[in-house]
Amino acid sequence: MLLNQFLILSAVLFSIGVYGVLTRRNGVMVLMSIELILNSVNINLVAFAAFREAIPGEVFALFVIAVAAAEVGVGLAMVLLLYRNRRNIDLAGIDSMKG
Amino acid sequence: MSTNLLIVAFERPAIDWHAVAPEIVLLSVGVLITLLDILFLEKARPYMAALSGLGILATAIPLLTLGIDGTERVLFDGAYVVDNFSLVLKAIFLLAGYVVILLSTNYIVDGDYWESEYYGLLLASLMGMIMMASSRDLISVFVALELLSIPAYLMVAWRKRDPKSNEAGLKYYLMGVFASAVMLYGMSLLFGVSGTTVLSEIADSIDAGNGSSSVMTLGIVFVVAGFAFKVSAVPFHTWAPDVYEGAPTPVTAFLSVASKAAGFVALLALIFVGFYELSNIWEPLIWILAALSMTVGNLVALRQTNIVRLMAYSGVAQTGFMIAPLAVAGHSLSTGNQALSAIVTYLAIYAAMNLGAFAVIITLARRTGSAEIDSFSGAFHFAPGLTVAMTIFLFSLAGIPPLGGWFAKFEVFRVLATSGETWGYLLAVVAAINSVIALFYYATIARKMWADDPSEKDLNNIEVTPSLVSALAICVLVTLLFGIFPQLVARFTEVSLLAFGV
Amino acid sequence: MTGFFLSQIQGLDPLTSDEVLVAQNVFFALIALVMILAALKMVTTENIVHAALYLVIVLAGAAGMFILLGAEFVAVTQILVYIGAIIVLFLFGIMLTKGSFGTEEGELRERNRMAVLVAVLIVAVTSGSFIDSFRDAELNRQAPSTTADIGDSIFGQFIIPFEAISVLLLAALIGSVVIARRDQ
């Protein structure tokens, strides 16, 4: 297997994730797109770990997974809070501050 | 495949306990607060602020002993380093954290917010910063960044019943997570090219010829973009005004000083320890960020009517000043060291003057019930002391001698002007023009506070709580001290990360 | 792992035989295709629940990739934590905010075109530099990394970030409870 096949797969997932972040207006959807990016990062890390035979790459991927779990927990708490106060989580409506 | 029994002797890592003592003390205080909250519930609440303040002071003790000891401690093959640079930065973080706790004391009680949890999160975020100052490894930098950011996301949304605070929290969270994801992608590329996560080993691998790879370039671009978000440099600054306005004001002060400094620390460590050799890649990036941040930040700040938003844009402009010396730091090792000292000096002084300005804003806004600049008109009539203090901070931010901000700006100009690079001179010119623009809006606020008629009916003097008085005293003292005796700060911030070849 | 199964059945050496390599490449192509399609569906679908399920497919595919790369522990963690916990969190979040269930409107065409441009640019630049830098670099065919190695690394060199993560998780937990709970 070539290293590049994994890297290019991850590049494609990364760009799809960025596309999702830029176009979706729903907080939860943006968060899912960010998860896509984090997964592309992990594929990169693990592929490089195999290529360089360096364990830290896999360890890094594990840390990314753990942090992603914390991030999603915090994010959904916030989405819940906003939903309770506003009854929707459409980001287009979030513009009470301007300047 | 036969089942082979793996017997791996685990070697306990050698840990220099003295080196990690500040982290351990801070962690213990955080755990203590959480436990007390669980055990005593409401009864413990009134003591939480004092306890976390004391905790920070206790954390300063091992920092002091480490400073007196003075040896450079390298842990885990260079992944975690305690040197002068990290000690100075840790001291700045602790002082900023202490002042923020002083600022929070009454604010949080008044709003009936979740006090114990608030201070717990503040300490957790502070711990991320303390860790960031020592991190010299991609994994440590990443974890430290998340440890300082995630509690900050939550604290921004802390005023739960205020939709503005909710929005600010979600906005900050989504943009912050996106920025750290992009930064991570860059880090994965850096790891891929060099095969290691330790910054000094990445530098070795660049020396060995891996630096010419275009993947390395991409990695640096992504990582710098991620941290440009953290320090709110244009064009990654769009979150700052909304978040600053929506967040509880003490949290805003915390973000604008400590969180920004932490982003700078990571950027400095990455650039100076990791890819210093590749200055042809990062210097232009930094140059653009610096010039844009100064210009856009100042121009937009001119037409703000809300003081917190104004401080946000002025913070963006100040970021431009702070980051500017980096744009010429790759010229030579001595320029690099000067640039590093200039940035650390600026960070220390900026922390004092910006926190001070926020302390005044918090106090005045409690009285006027508004953060509009017009509501501060004639503040001299009902808060003369605060007006004097605010004037000191504003003029210091503008860079007028003999205040601290002047020395900070002077150092930046010195590095830019002595680098001997055309781009450096050009940036110095941009910075000079921007200093004049900035003076205009800082002076406008001061003029309104002194000269205009108060819009308030109640002209009794504002009662300033003891904690705010101490916060103001610390900030005024530091701002004046560093302006009048610049040699003092210069001695402390004479730090170096460029160990090689010197 | 796939190679390992094949070698068990046919008595081939997973580290040297060509059949195993072919099988690995076939599996890669299949999983990669499914992942990319699911990711595309995820960012374009109108229905959030569907999006979460497409995300599951991408995450499972990533776990498959980790196995192909010999990172079995990461693959297991991916399934347990990502699919087991994070997706469930997402589904809870979607269910609790039922107001935004179903479709989301207000997607701007203009913005869409820009985003496509950005995405294509990213793929072109990153893939270009990957091809330029690594060309046809082969992955070494090696035995999967052992969990013991990873454990040694985490509890040795990376003990400080590991401890920091525990603080991070605690802080995130406490903060999320405060933020999400209903005040009286």
Judged by a CB distance cut-off of 8 A, whether residue C96 touches chain B is: no
Smallest CA–CA distance, residue A97 to chain B, in Å, is 6
Number of structural domains chain C divides into: 2
**B256-265, B275-284, B371-380: segment of lowest average pLDDT:** B371-380
Within 10 angstroms of residue B42's Cβ, the number of other Cβ atoms is 9
In degrees and rounded to multiples of 5, residue A69 shows phi and psi of -60, -45
Mean pLDDT, residues B261-283 taken together: 90
Rounded-to-integer distance, Cα B138 and Cα B187, Å:
7
SS3 B450: helix
Rounded-to-integer distance, Cα B87 and Cα B352, Å:
17
Query: Is A49–C69 a contact, with Cβ atoms under 8 angstroms apart?
Result: yes
Q: Which of C54, C84, C104 is the last residue of a domain?
A: C104
Query: Is A52–B195 a contact, with Cβ atoms under 8 angstroms apart?
Result: yes
Structure tokens at B409: 């700006």
Query: Is A6–C157 a contact, with Cβ atoms under 8 angstroms apart?
Result: no
Rounded-to-integer distance, Cα B294 and Cα B288, Å:
10
Higher pLDDT pick, C110 / B43: B43
**B62-71, B137-146, B362-371, C128-137: segment of lowest average pLDDT:** B362-371
Task: Answer yes or no: do C96 and C15 share one domain.
Answer: yes
Across the interface, which of C51, C136, C176 has its CB nearest the CB of A29? C51
SS3 B372: strand
Number of structural domains chain B divides into: 1
Cβ contact B448:B376 at 8 Å: yes
Average pLDDT of chain B?
Answer: 87
Q: List chain A residues with CB under 8 Å of B306.
A: 99
Write out chain C in H/E/C secondary structure.
CHHHHHHHHHCCCCCCCHHHHHHHHHHHHHHHHHHHHHHHHHHHCCCHHHHHHHHHHHHHHHHHHHHHCCCHHHHHHHHHHHHHHHHHHHHHHHHHCHHHCCCCCCCCHHHHHHHHHHHHHHHHHHHHHHHHHHCCCECCCCCCCCHHHHHHHHHCCCHHHHHHHHHHHHHHHHHHHHHHCCCC
Judged by a CB distance cut-off of 8 A, whether residue C101 touches chain B is: no
Smallest CA–CA distance, residue B12 to chain C, in Å, is 7
Mean pLDDT, residues B435-448 taken together: 90
Mutation pick from A3, A8, A60 vs chain B, by most beta carbons of B within 10 Å, is: A60
Query: Is B143–A63 a contact, with Cβ atoms under 8 angstroms apart?
Result: yes
Rounded-to-integer distance, Cα C62 and Cα C47, Å:
23
Has residue C66 been placed in a domain?
A: yes
For chain C, positions 37-66, list CB contacts with chain A under 8 A: 39-40, 42-43, 48, 51-52, 55, 58-59, 62, 65-66
Rounded-to-integer distance, Cα C19 and Cα C24, Å:
9
Task: Answer yes or no: do C95 and C156 share one domain.
Answer: no
- pLDDT, residue A8, reads 93
- pLDDT, residue A96, reads 61
Structure tokens at B439: 């003076």
pLDDT 10s digits, B403-436:
888 889 998 999 998 888 888 899 999 999 999 9
SS3 B227: helix
Has residue B172 been placed in a domain?
A: no
Task: Answer yes or no: do C77 and C16 share one domain.
Answer: yes
pLDDT 10s digits, B311-358:
999 999 999 999 999 999 888 888 888 898 899 989 999 999 999 999
- pLDDT, residue C10, reads 66
For chain C, positions 119-158, list CB contacts with chain A under 8 A: 119-120, 122-123, 126-127, 130-131, 134-140, 142, 145, 149-150, 153-154, 157-158
Has residue B381 been placed in a domain?
A: yes
Has residue B225 been placed in a domain?
A: no
Smallest CA–CA distance, residue C148 to chain B, in Å, is 7
Cβ contact B167:A89 at 8 Å: no
Query: Is B160–C151 a contact, with Cβ atoms under 8 angstroms apart?
Result: no
Task: Answer yes or no: do C150 and C94 share one domain.
Answer: no
What letter does residue B273 receive in the DSSP assignment? I
- CATH assignment at residue C69: 1.20.120.1200
Per-residue pLDDT of chain A (99 residues; tens, 9 = 90+): 888 999 999 999 999 999 999 888 888 889 999 999 999 999 999 999 999 888 999 999 999 999 999 999 999 999 888 888 876 556 655 656 655
Within 10 angstroms of residue B59's Cβ, the number of other Cβ atoms is 28
Sequence-separated (6 or more) residues with CB below 8 Å from residue B128: B144, B145, B146, B147, B148, B149, B151, B262, C164, C168
| B80-82 vs B73-75, strand pairing mode | antiparallel
Mutation pick from C13, C179, C182 vs chain B, by most beta carbons of B within 10 Å, is: C179
With vertex at residue B303, the alpha carbon angle to CA B298 and CA B309, rounded to the nearest 5 degrees, is 75
Cβ contact B462:B389 at 8 Å: no
Single out the residue of B231, B219, B323, B325 nearest to residue B274, CA to CA.
B219
SS3 A50: helix
**ipTM value for the complex:** 0.92
CA distances from B86 to B92, B355, B493 (A): 10, 21, 10
Mean pLDDT, residues B305-311 taken together: 91
pTM: 0.92
Q: List chain B residues with CB under 8 Å of A38.
A: 181, 184
Query: Is A31–B154 a contact, with Cβ atoms under 8 angstroms apart?
Result: no
**What is the pLDDT confidence band of residue B266, given thresholds at 50, 70 and 90?**
very high
Mean pLDDT, residues B364-378 taken together: 81
Query: Is A52–B178 a contact, with Cβ atoms under 8 angstroms apart?
Result: no
pLDDT 10s digits, B21-39:
999 999 999 999 999 988 9
- pLDDT, residue B292, reads 93
Across the interface, which of A6, A23, A73 has its CB nearest the CB of C176? A73
Cβ contact B285:B219 at 8 Å: no
**What is the pLDDT confidence band of residue B144, given thresholds at 50, 70 and 90?**
very high
State what percent of residues in chain B have pLDDT above 90. Answer: 47
Rounded-to-integer distance, Cα B328 and Cα B417, Å:
10
B403 bridge partner residues: none
- Residues spanned by the domain of B498: 277-502
Structure tokens at A76: 């959904």
For chain C, positions 1-60, list CB contacts with chain B under 8 A: 4
Q: List chain A residues with CB under 8 Å of B139.
A: 56, 59-60, 63
Has residue C111 been placed in a domain?
A: no
Which helix (H) or strand (E) covers residue A38, if one does?
A: helix A27-52
Has residue C55 been placed in a domain?
A: yes
Smallest CA–CA distance, residue C63 to chain A, in Å, is 9
Smallest CA–CA distance, residue C97 to chain B, in Å, is 15
Q: Which of C104, C127, C154 is the last residue of a domain?
A: C104
- pLDDT, residue C103, reads 46
Instruction: Find where tokens 């669980």 sit.
Output: B38
- pLDDT, residue B372, reads 83
**Which residue in A has a C-alpha nearest to residue B304's C-alpha?**
A99
Rounded-to-integer distance, Cα A74 and Cα B154, Å:
7
With vertex at residue C33, the alpha carbon angle to CA B213 and CA C103, rounded to the nearest 5 degrees, is 110
Rounded-to-integer distance, Cα B26 and Cα B92, Å:
15
Query: Is A61–C157 a contact, with Cβ atoms under 8 angstroms apart?
Result: no
Smallest CA–CA distance, residue B438 to chain A, in Å, is 18
- pLDDT, residue B501, reads 34
Task: Answer yes or no: do C61 and C11 share one domain.
Answer: yes
Smallest CA–CA distance, residue A34 to chain B, in Å, is 6
Has residue B324 been placed in a domain?
A: yes
Q: Is the pLDDT of residue B502 over 70?
A: no
Instruction: Find where tokens 């711990």 sit.
Output: B127
**Which residue in C has a C-alpha nearest to residue B166's C-alpha?**
C179
Cβ contact B96:B55 at 8 Å: no
In chain A, the domains with their CATH numbers are 3-91 (1.10.287.3510)
Rounded-to-integer distance, Cα C12 and Cα C15, Å:
9
- pLDDT, residue B434, reads 92
State what percent of residues in chain B have pLDDT above 70. Answer: 94
**End-to-end Cα spacing for chain A:** 53
DSSP-based helix, strand, coil % in chain B, nearest 5: 80, 0, 20
Per-residue pLDDT of chain C (184 residues; tens, 9 = 90+): 555 665 666 666 666 777 778 888 899 999 999 999 999 999 988 888 899 999 999 999 999 999 999 899 999 999 999 998 999 988 888 888 765 544 445 555 567 888 899 999 999 999 999 988 888 788 877 777 788 889 888 998 899 999 999 999 999 999 999 988 877 5
Has residue B163 been placed in a domain?
A: no
Single out the residue of B83, B59, B76, B245 nearest to residue B165, CA to CA.
B245
- Residues spanned by the domain of C173: 146-184
Q: List chain B residues with CB under 8 Å of C128.
A: 214
SS3 A2: strand
Rounded-to-integer distance, Cα B92 and Cα B56, Å:
12
Smallest CA–CA distance, residue B1 to chain C, in Å, is 8
Residue type at position A66: A
Judged by a CB distance cut-off of 8 A, whether residue C67 touches chain A is: no
- Report how many Cβ contacts below 8 Å link chain A to chain C: 249
Q: Which of C104, C138, C166 is the last residue of a domain?
A: C104
Has residue B158 been placed in a domain?
A: no
pLDDT 10s digits, B166-175:
889 999 999 9
**What is the pLDDT confidence band of residue B500, given thresholds at 50, 70 and 90?**
very low
Has residue C61 been placed in a domain?
A: yes
Has residue C171 been placed in a domain?
A: yes
